[in-house]
């Protein structure tokens, strides 16, 4: 039998009939898989523990004739339990799972798996939800190939810390402007949001509240322009 054994994380679960669920799994080495987890809603199901949200698990999957295969087994590796102890972290976690699932309708690479795993790790900690969401949006943009030019302006000149800039969202670069709202500290924060694989260091930036609103709005504008959800 052509079974696949892989490591993955559940992106979505849909109840089916009386005791089954259809699960969408983001795997480390096989992209996204859809599988029928038969009988998983029964009290003694051996599959139930491995398909918890905010978890990393080992899965054995049997491809089907269509786009939905069968989940043969699941074994929990890591469960980020602190996420579900806080309703606000849980709700943000649901939202970020939804965004990643919709943004990856085509085949996905290992980089999306790494992004989601790191997202679970920081949600499980104490970094602010605002910074986690901003970092996630920036990283999803970068992973999808929509990273802004944070080195040179529209004219090809190196960004200068003493200047003010506006931003051209169509071309994804800064434009020199005396009336621009972006300066040295905004650019530094954006470089961190797009560049850090682990966003924990963001929590150590001093006086971030002075530049975060404008930077956050810019990231959200880019996100809604390029990530269709």
Q: What is the DSSP string of 60-126?
A: EEE--SSSEEEEEEEEEEEE-TTGGGSHHHHHHHHHHHHHHHHHT-S---HHHHHHHHHHHHHHTTT
Task: Tell the residue number behind the tokens 């920036």, with chain if given.
Answer: 138
Task: Tell the residue number behind the tokens 């970092």, with chain if given.
Answer: 135
How buried is residue 123: exposed, middle or buried, by Cβ count under 10 Å (0-12/13-18/19+)?
buried
Rounded CA-CA distance 96/113 in Å is 13
pLDDT of residue 123: 98
Rounded CA-CA distance 57/78 in Å is 7
The 10s digit of each residue's pLDDT in 28-69 is 999 999 999 999 999 999 999 999 999 999 999 999 888 899
pLDDT of residue 161: 86
Contact 6, 40 (CB under 8 A): no
pLDDT of residue 107: 60
Cα-Cα-Cα-Cα dihedral sign, residues 115, 120, 125, 129? positive
What's the number of CA atoms in the CB half-sphere (13 Å) around residue 144? 22
Beta bridge partners of 21: 15, 37
- Residue-level pLDDT, tens digit, the chain, 229 residues: 589 999 999 999 999 999 999 999 999 999 999 999 999 999 999 999 999 999 999 999 999 888 899 999 999 999 999 999 999 999 999 999 999 999 887 767 889 999 999 999 999 999 999 999 999 999 999 999 999 999 999 999 999 989 999 999 999 999 999 999 999 999 999 999 999 999 999 999 988 899 999 999 999 999 999 987 7
3-class DSSP assignment, residue 9: strand
């Amino acid at each position: 039998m052509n079974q696949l054994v892989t490591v993955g994380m559940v992106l979505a679960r849909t109840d089916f009939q009386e005791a089954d669920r259809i699960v969408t799994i983001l795997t480390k080495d096989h992209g996204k898989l859809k599988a029928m987890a038969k009988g998983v809603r029964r009290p003694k199901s051996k599959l139930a523990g491995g398909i918890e949200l905010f978890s990393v698990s080992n899965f054995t999957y049997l491809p089907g004739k269509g786009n939905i295969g069968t989940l043969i087994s699941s074994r929990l590796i890591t469960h980020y339990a602190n996420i579900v102890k806080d309703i606000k972290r849980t709700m943000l976690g649901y939202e970020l799972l939804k965004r990643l699932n919709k943004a990856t309708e085509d085949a996905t690479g290992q980089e999306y798996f790494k992004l989601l795993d790191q997202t679970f790790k920081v949600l499980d900690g104490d970094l602010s939800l605002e910074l986690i969401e901003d970092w996630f949006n920036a990283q999803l943009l970068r992973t999808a190939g929509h990273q802004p030019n944070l080195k040179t302006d529209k004219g090809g000149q190196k960004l200068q810390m003493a200047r003010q800039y506006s931003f051209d969202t169509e071309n994804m670069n800064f434009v020199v402007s005396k009336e621009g709202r972006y300066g040295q500290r905004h650019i530094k924060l954006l470089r961190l949001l797009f560049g850090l694989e682990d966003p924990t260091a963001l929590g150590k930036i001093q006086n971030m509240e002075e530049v975060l609103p404008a930077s956050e709005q810019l990231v959200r504008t880019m996100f809604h322009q390029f990530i269709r959800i």
